[in-house]
């Protein structure tokens, strides 16, 4: 059994309630931090832990905290990013729904470390029932004296509220999230200034993912060094993985970073293999934005080493032969899935979610969607494949926020690894008329047609 | 483009105003605008799930901001409806992970059963079917959102049951 630090109590009956959570040792990190540590000592422990941002970027959390401007004397804020919207990712929802007080405890301890007296949890509007769960949990914590004025008699005040979005993927980008929290459209801001200097209401602000903040209580209760002992190298601690697609046991799993992809995919403790015992075709290991991997690069890297669930191993080989751990949205495809259709679907998503601020993204995501749609529907041309490559390369790196990159990478990776499948669509339009074209006849059965016919 | 004007009866009840004032208290006195998104949700829920211009103007007045500041937000976020919609809106997640588990076939089935196309409302105003982007339930696909709640691991049989429950007024849309 792998070590669990976020979900170790998840099966305790009633853990959703304050009473049970407290009885099981909850809120100990608040007591420990406020009574026996200085805020800077808490930051130091988080730095030592090597904890990396769990939203997708993997930036060291302690370092992010240390950037917050404490000199200006302006009010500081901690904002929890619970705008979970990356396709393939549903871990934060699980954590908030089933053990909400862990997040509240993490918010209090982390706000103390940052010297923030007003903090928010920004949750996506679709998670409305979770919003209500968090509101009630905050009220319980407040009634028990963990929030409000002069907490534990230390003189430290904290107001914590939950704020809901209204359906915009872009608000998961931290500056768009801040705009949205200010009651505006979710248009990302140009950085610098970074939120640590000028964030919510132009005050110094730290934005962290739910899972990142939920790891803080364990780090404070034990130590940063203890946390760093879990995992491998710079991938310390545990990670929640959301598994979906063609696997036997989809769902949310807490793994120790360093577990092999093979074990995670195939052991009964985790995903239990493919759902209908069909061959594995592809994997998106970290949410829709990260490059898709073909079957031969999933369990082994290009160098023949075992592929591990770590930031480093999943990105081994760069984008040529690797991918990213990202948000841990683990999407598995069997041979009935069509990579062209899947890529079109993702492109439609990014086009829909582009905020429209930067031309390359606003226009480019629409072009990607349209060109992919015509290929998928038998109206593609041979040169469309290079056209797609050209469009994605002109979006990447040319936008204010990473949504442009996120829209480009899946297209680039699909062409890189599955070019023949695009060629098949273009050359045999009559064979792909039905949207489930690979269900009856997987691509492996017809691949020979592509190599026989060249342009 | 032809624009149709829709009338809406505005009813800012005492309980709605209490809730709005509670939401306003979550932000600094001079940052009332921050409450805009949560307030729009509450106001919309209390008005048949859509926002007319007049209702948005009312929200602007309450928050002390310009009407345009409300419109630009209401048009940006997908959860705000700017015209009347079906009472029971089936919002199917149609992003890839759900499609791998058969969402598209299920949407076809639902549309056929209700006799509507995607984005259309049934003649009795009771149902509407929509395709939306990732709702964060990829492991429990196929799924849809109905009001404040998710309906997951859907099958044709479950869809039949949900439709019957809607007709029998057994579905709770909002957690108030």
Do A255 and A141 belong together in one domain?
no
pLDDT in tens, A53-97: 999 999 999 999 999 999 999 999 999 999 999 999 999 999 999
**CA pair distance A455, A422, nearest whole angstrom:** 13
Interface test with B, best of A98, A119, A167, A281 (most B CBs within 10 A): A167
pLDDT in tens, A217-270: 999 999 999 999 999 999 999 999 999 999 999 999 999 999 999 999 999 999
* Span A209-219, average pLDDT: 98
In which domain, by residue range, is A301 found? 232-334
* Span A359-364, average pLDDT: 98
CB contact under 8 A, B37 and A164: yes
Q: What percent of chain B has pLDDT over 90?
A: 94
Residue B33 touches partner A, C-beta closer than 8 Å: yes
Do A312 and A369 belong together in one domain?
no
pLDDT in tens, B128-170: 999 999 999 999 999 999 999 999 999 999 999 999 999 999 9
Supply the pLDDT for residue B5.
79
A326: left (phi over 0), alpha (psi -120 to 50) or beta: left
ipTM above 0.90, yes or no: yes
Q: In CATH, which of 3.40.30.10, 3.20.20.70, 2.40.30.170, 3.30.9.10 is domain B88-167?
A: 3.40.30.10
Do A224 and A307 belong together in one domain?
no
Do A210 and A237 belong together in one domain?
no
Supply the pLDDT for residue B176.
75
Q: Which residue has the tokens 């769960």?
A: A133
CATH number of the domain encompassing residue A401: 1.20.1440.230
CB contact under 8 A, B78 and A166: yes
Instruction: Name, in order, each residue with C-beta under 8 angstroms of A36's C-beta and a sequence gap of 6 or more.
Output: none
Give yes or no for residue A2 having a pLDDT over 80.
Answer: no
CB contact under 8 A, A288 and B95: yes
Give yes or no for residue A177 having a pLDDT over 60.
Answer: yes
Do A390 and A343 belong together in one domain?
yes
Supply the pLDDT for residue A453.
67
Residue A11 lies in a domain: no
Residue A173 lies in a domain: yes
Instruction: Name, in order, each residue with C-beta under 8 angstroms of A345's C-beta and a sequence gap of 6 or more.
Output: B94, B95, B96, B99
Q: Which of A424, A455, A453, A265 is nearest to A341 (CA)?
A: A424
Domains of chain A: total: 3
pLDDT band at A452 (very low <50, low <70, confident <90, very high): confident
Do A225 and A304 belong together in one domain?
no
Q: A213, A229, A245: which is the final residue of a domain? A: A229
Looking at domain B14-76, does it have CATH number 3.40.50?
A: no
- Domain ranges, ordered by start, for chain B: 14-76, 88-167
**CA pair distance A343, A236, nearest whole angstrom:** 32
Residues of B with Cβ-Cβ distance to A242 under 8 angstroms:
138-139
Supply the pLDDT for residue B3.
65
| Burial (CB count within 10 angstroms: exposed 0-12, middle 13-18, buried 19+), residue A397 | exposed
Q: Which residues pair with A331 in a beta bridge?
A: A244, A284
Give yes or no for residue A401 having a pLDDT over 60.
Answer: yes
Residue A4 lies in a domain: no
The one-character DSSP state at A246 is S
Residue B82 touches partner A, C-beta closer than 8 Å: no
Residue A5 lies in a domain: no
**CA pair distance A325, A217, nearest whole angstrom:** 23
pLDDT band at B175 (very low <50, low <70, confident <90, very high): confident
Supply the pLDDT for residue A454.
60
Supply the pLDDT for residue B76.
98
pLDDT in tens, B89-121: 999 999 999 999 999 999 999 999 999 999 999
* Span A28-32, average pLDDT: 98
Give yes or no for residue A455 having a pLDDT over 70.
Answer: no
Do A388 and A303 belong together in one domain?
no
């Amino acid at each position: 059994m792998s070590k669990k630090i976020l979900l170790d109590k998840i099966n305790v009956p009633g853990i959703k309630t304050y009473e049970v959570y407290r009885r099981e040792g909850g809120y100990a990190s608040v007591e420990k931090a406020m009574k026996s540590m200085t805020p800077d000592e808490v930051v130091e422990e988080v730095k030592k832990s090597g904890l990396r941002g769990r939203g997708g970027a993997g930036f060291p959390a302690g370092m992010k905290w240390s950037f917050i401007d404490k000199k200006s004397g302006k009010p500081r804020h901690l904002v929890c990013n619970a705008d979970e919207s990356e396709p393939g990712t549903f871990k934060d929802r699980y954590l908030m729904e089933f053990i909400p007080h862990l997040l509240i405890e993490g918010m209090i301890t982390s706000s103390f470390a940052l010297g923030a007296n007003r903090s928010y949890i920004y949750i996506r509007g679709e998670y409305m029932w979770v919003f209500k769960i968090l509101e009630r949990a905050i009220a319980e914590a407040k009634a028990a004296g963990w929030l409000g004025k002069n907490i534990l008699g230390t003189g430290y005040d904290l107001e914590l509220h939950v704020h809901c979005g209204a359906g915009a993927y872009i608000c998961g980008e931290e500056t768009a999230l801040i705009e949205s929290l200010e009651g505006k459209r979710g248009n990302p801001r140009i950085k610098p200034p970074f939120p640590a200097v000028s964030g919510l209401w132009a005050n110094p602000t730290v934005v962290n993912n739910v899972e990142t903040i939920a790891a803080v209580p364990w780090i404070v209760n034990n130590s940063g060094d203890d946390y760093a002992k879990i995992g491998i190298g710079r991938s310390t601690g545990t990670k929640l993985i959301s598994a979906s697609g063609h696997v036997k046991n989809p769902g949310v799993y807490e793994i120790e970073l360093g577990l092999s992809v093979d074990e995670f995919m195939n052991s009964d403790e985790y995903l239990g293999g493919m759902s209908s015992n069909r061959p594995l075709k592809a994997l998106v290991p970290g949410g829709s934005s990260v490059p898709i991997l073909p079957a031969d690069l999933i369990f082994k890297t290009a160098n023949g080493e075992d592929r591990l669930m770590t930031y480093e191993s999943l990105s081994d080989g760069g984008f040529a032969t690797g991918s990213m751990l990202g948000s841990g949205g683990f999407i598995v495809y069997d041979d009935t899935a069509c990579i062209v259709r899947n890529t079109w679907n993702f492109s439609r998503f990014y086009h829909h979610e582009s905020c429209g601020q930067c031309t390359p993204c606003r226009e480019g995501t629409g072009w990607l969607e349209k060109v992919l749609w015509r290929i998928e529907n038998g109206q593609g041309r041979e040169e469309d494949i290079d056209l797609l490559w050209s469009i994605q390369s002109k979006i990447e790196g040319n936008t204010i926020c990473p949504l442009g990159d996120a829209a480009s990478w899946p297209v680039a990776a699909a062409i890189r690894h599955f070019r023949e499948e695009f060629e098949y669509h273009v050359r045999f339009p009559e064979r792909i008329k039905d949207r489930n074209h690979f269900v009856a006849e997987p691509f492996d059965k017809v691949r020979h047609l592509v190599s026989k016919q060249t342009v | 483009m032809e624009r149709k004007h829709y009338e809406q009866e505005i009813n800012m009840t005492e309980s709605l105003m209490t809730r709005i004032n509670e939401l306003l208290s979550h932000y600094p006195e001079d940052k009332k605008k921050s409450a805009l998104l949560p307030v729009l949700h509450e106001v919309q829920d209390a008005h048949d799930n859509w926002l007319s211009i007049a209702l948005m103007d009312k929200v602007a007045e309450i928050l002390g901001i310009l009407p345009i500041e409300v419109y630009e937000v209401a048009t940006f976020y997908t959860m705000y409806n700017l015209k009347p919609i079906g009472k029971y809106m089936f919002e199917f997640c149609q992003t890839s992970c759900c499609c791998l588990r058969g969402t598209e076939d299920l949407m076809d089935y639902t549309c056929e059963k209700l006799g509507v196309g995607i984005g259309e409302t049934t003649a009795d105003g009771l149902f509407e079917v929509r395709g939306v982007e990732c709702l964060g339930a990829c492991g429990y696909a196929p799924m849809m959102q109905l009001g404040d709640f998710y309906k997951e691991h859907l099958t044709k049989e479950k869809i039949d049951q949900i439709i019957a429950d809607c007709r029998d007024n057994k579905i709770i849309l909002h957690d108030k």
